[in-house]
Amino acid sequence: MTKDAGQAEGDWSQLMRDAIAGDQRAYRRLLTAMTPVLRGLVRARAAGMDASWCEDVVQETLLAIHVKRATWDSGQPLRPWVYAIARHKLVDAFRRRGRRIHLPVEDFADMLQAPPEPDMLERRDAGTLIGRLPERDAALLRCLALEERGSDECGARLGLAPGALRVALHRALQRLARLRQEET
C-alpha cells in the first residue's frame, strides 16, 4: 500500500509549486492524492474514534493545508510540512475531546493509506460550523460545499459576479478555518 516515497515526494512538492503558481488542476490532484494518506494516518493515530470523527480531522487538516500554504518553503519537501499540519490538527482535535496524547513526529513518516468511508454524506459538524459564519459567507459555503452546486449557480443565487465570488470564497474559507480553531 505504501507508495514509493521518493517518487511521491517529488510529485507532491511539484504539484504544490504548480498549485501556488495558479494551476488549479494540479492543486486538486495534490489534495486528492493527500487525502487517503491523511485519512490513513489519522485513523492509525486515533484508534477507537469513529470514522466520522476521523474524517472531520482529515477535513480540518485539508482546510489548514489550504489556508496555511504560504508557510511552506517551496525549496523544502512538502511531505514533512503536511505531516506537521496533520499532527497539529490531530492533537488539537484530541485536546477538544479532553484527551491528551503524545504523538512523536517520527511516527508520521510511514503509514498506510486508507479508503474513504462510503457513507460519509451530510456532516453535522461542518454544517453547524458553517452556520456560525457571517450570513453571506455561510450562504456561499452552504451552496457550494453542502448543496454541491456549481459556482455559476451559487453566484447567481447570491448576486455575486465571478470575481466577487472568488474573493468571497477566499474570505469565507479563511474565516471557516479560524472558526474551527476558536470553537474549543
Partner 1 sequence: MRTERLIDVLAADDTAPRPIGPRLMMQAGPALIAAAVLALSILGIRSDLGAALANPTTLMKWLLPLAVAIPALYAALRLTRPQIRHTPAQFIPALIGVLALVWLALAAASTAPDLLWPQVRGRTALICLISVTFIGLAPLLVGLRILREGACVSPTVSGAMLGLASGGLAAAFYALHCNQDAPLFFLTWYGLGILGLTAGGALLGRHFLRW
Q: Are 151 and 165 in contact (CB under 8 A)?
A: yes
C-alpha cell at 77: 519537501
When binding is defined by CB under 8 A, the residue of 8, 49, 103, 146 that contacts partner 1 is: 146
Kindly write out the interface string for residues 162-181 of this chain, putting x where it contacts partner 1 by CB under 8 A and - elsewhere: ----xx-xx--x---xx--x
Q: How many CB atoms lie within 10 A of CB 36?
A: 16
Is residue 121 involved in binding partner 1 (CB under 8 A)?
A: yes
For residues 154 and 2, give the distance between their C-alpha atoms in angstroms, rounded to a whole number: 39
When binding is defined by CB under 8 A, the residue of 2, 52, 71, 128 that contacts partner 1 is: 71
When binding is defined by CB under 8 A, the residue of 13, 35, 37, 42 that contacts partner 1 is: 35
For residues 75 and 48, give the distance between their C-alpha atoms in angstroms, rounded to a whole number: 38
Write the DSSP symbol of residue 116: P
Is residue 62 involved in binding partner 1 (CB under 8 A)?
A: yes
For residues 176 and 164, give the distance between their C-alpha atoms in angstroms, rounded to a whole number: 18
Is residue 73 involved in binding partner 1 (CB under 8 A)?
A: yes
For residues 20 and 37, give the distance between their C-alpha atoms in angstroms, rounded to a whole number: 21
The smaller minimum CB distance to partner 1, of residues 2 and 71, is found at 71
Q: Which residues bind partner 1 (CB under 8 A)?
A: 20, 22, 24, 27-28, 31-32, 35, 55, 58-59, 62-64, 66, 68-73, 80-81, 83-85, 88, 105, 116, 120-123, 126-127, 141, 144-146, 148, 151, 166-167, 169-170, 173, 177-178, 181
